[in-house]
A and B are shown apart, each in its own frame.
Chain A
Amino acid sequence: MNRTDRRKFKSMTRRELLKLTPMIALGAFVIPKLRSPLLKAGLGFSDWASAKLFREGHLAPTFADSALTPLNKFPLNTYDVDDPEVDLDNWTLTVTGAVQKPGDYTLSQIKALPKTTQNTRHVCVEGWDVIGRFGGVRLSEFLKMIGADPRARFVTVECADDYYESLDMATAMHPQTLLCYEMYDQPLTRGHGAPLRLNVPTKIGYKQAKYLTDLKVSHVLEKAGYWEDQGYSEFYGL
């Protein structure tokens, strides 16, 4: 056993204690001025990792009809009104941005594209989840029809209730990303977003905007989404 005296032992243990001082850096999170940029950076890093984990060909799990949550137990989450009183007879989807054929598209023009139906899980950021049946056309097919610039990076949508959302292009092109006009083989009810909503099984619930009125293809993201602009994750891929 080595020997030492009290003074030397004291200075040695003090040195060992001082080695832990870099931990004070974590105290930056307590300073209000630094806290929000730090948390923003942390959330941004998580979003970056999320985008890296996204695989174009990887499908979200699908479920048998017997696993479906009944339609009356499929929650309606809205941020202000359940029914923004869309005029369903004269409704069109207004397309703008980096596309060859901008303009107003009717529901029957959209429905003319090949139909896809899928039973997928809807996960809410609050923590609950349901399995629903969604029918519609692939957003990728619609983007092809309107001649979207393949180099564009975002698809943003606006809604009749002033809600707005965005999708990165990789997610917009995913085969399970739908412009959805049916749930449970019935036309969308007003509460679930009639006449057209997004169904994106690779994303969290708040990305699945309802009552769509406008769709824009863009190279830069002007606004990420209603909840994103209050501090939620911009990417939130599942």
Chain B
Amino acid sequence: MTTRAIAIEDAKTGEVTVAAYEHPFLVRLCHWVNAVSLFVMVGSGLQIFRAFPSFGAKIPQKDLLHWPKAFAIGGWLGGALQWHLTFLWIYVASGLLYIGYQVFSRNYRQVLFTPHDIPGVWPMVRHYFFFGAKPAAREAYNPLQKLAYTAGIGLGVLSVLTGIAVWKPVQLSWLAWLMGGFHLARLWHFLVMCAMVAFIFGHLVMVVLHGWNNFVSMLTGWKKEPEYRVE
């Protein structure tokens, strides 16, 4: 998919810089609202987890880990539940708006990993992790990026589904049943959160490595001097 681009002329020097419009407004809005709400959901979720930091029986209770209160949101179980049950709506709304926009604008082709992208994954892995040559970029996202973002969006969907199963194990008992019952659904919800945090960590590392122009593109939509050819 081709990205809209513009040539910027410096009136004094006559120098020309190219910029590509990578992120439409709604994608940027959803990205930042999602970032804030995910931060609150993970933080308050960890405070909720502190009330029973185990996935086994209550008697005898074997704690998995003691997450420090300083790295949690809400102060106590009731407070954390207020944050969690408030921001879940903001989190879900930003997710639905994002997916809806991507589908209707057909912009999803920018991020959706398809079988077409499979051959390009290994060269990117070799480049990132084993000092391989950098494959030529042809569009905004390389195949490995598409794989990562598609998986990240999938994790978002799973975080909501496992969360609903934990919240509504009776009225939506079929959902909890699909996940092996309430008890396991709570474990899946936690593991999806862990995977999400790992994704965000990788994402932030890449943001730092790719520099200022790349970061600014998620604020203004425009990326100066893209690494790929634009028309």
Which of B29, B61, B171 makes the CB contact (< 8 A) with A58?
B171
Q: Mark A86-125, 1 if CB is under 8 A from B, else 0.
A: 0000000000000000000000000000000000010111
Asked if residues A125 and B173 are in contact (CB atoms below 8 Å), the reply is no
Asked if residues A232 and B32 are in contact (CB atoms below 8 Å), the reply is no
Q: List, in ascending order, chain A residues with CB within 8 A of B58's CB.
A: 73, 75, 124, 128, 130
Q: CA–CA, A3 to B90, complex, Å?
A: 39
Count of residues in B whose CB is under 8 Å from the partner chain: 55
Q: Say whether B114 faces chain A, with CB atoms less than 8 Å apart.
A: no
Asked if residues B9 and A4 are in contact (CB atoms below 8 Å), the reply is yes
Q: Mark B40-54, 1 if CB is under 8 A from A, else 0.
A: 100000001101101
Closest to A38 in B: B86
Q: List, in ascending order, chain B residues with CB within 8 A of A237's CB.
A: 168, 170-171
Which of A4, A26, A50, A73 makes the CB contact (< 8 A) with B57?
A73
Interface segment, B117-125, B131-139, B214-222? Answer: B214-222
Smallest distance from the beta carbon of A35 to chain B beta carbons, Å?
9
Known: A17-B220, A238-B170. A40 touches B82 (CB 8 A): yes
Smallest distance from the beta carbon of B89 to chain A beta carbons, Å?
7
Smallest distance from the beta carbon of A197 to chain B beta carbons, Å?
18
Q: Mark B83-95, 1 if CB is under 8 A from A, else 0.
A: 1011111100000
- Mark out the residues of chain B between 155 and 183 whose CB falls within 8 Å of any chain A CB in the assembled complex: 167-173, 177, 182-183
Interface segment, B73-81, B103-111, B193-201, B203-211? Answer: B73-81
Q: Say whether B65 faces chain A, with CB atoms less than 8 Å apart.
A: no
Asked if residues B82 and A127 are in contact (CB atoms below 8 Å), the reply is no
Asked if residues B77 and A60 are in contact (CB atoms below 8 Å), the reply is no
Q: CA–CA, A48 to B54, complex, Å?
A: 30
Q: List, in ascending order, chain A residues with CB within 8 A of B88's CB.
A: 46
Known: A75-B59, A126-B52, A128-B52. A4 touches B182 (CB 8 A): no
Q: CA–CA, A230 to B75, complex, Å?
A: 13
Known: A3-B9, A4-B6, A5-B11. A20 touches B172 (CB 8 A): no
Q: List, in ascending order, chain A residues with CB within 8 A of B169's CB.
A: 61, 121, 123, 238
Closest to A53 in B: B171
Smallest distance from the beta carbon of B205 to chain A beta carbons, Å?
24
Q: Say whether A231 faces chain B, with CB atoms less than 8 Å apart.
A: yes
The chain B residues found within 8 Å of chain A, CB to CB, are 5-11, 18-19, 25, 28-29, 32-33, 36, 40, 48-49, 51-52, 54, 57-59, 61, 77-79, 81-83, 85-90, 167-173, 177, 182-183, 186, 216, 219-222, 230-231
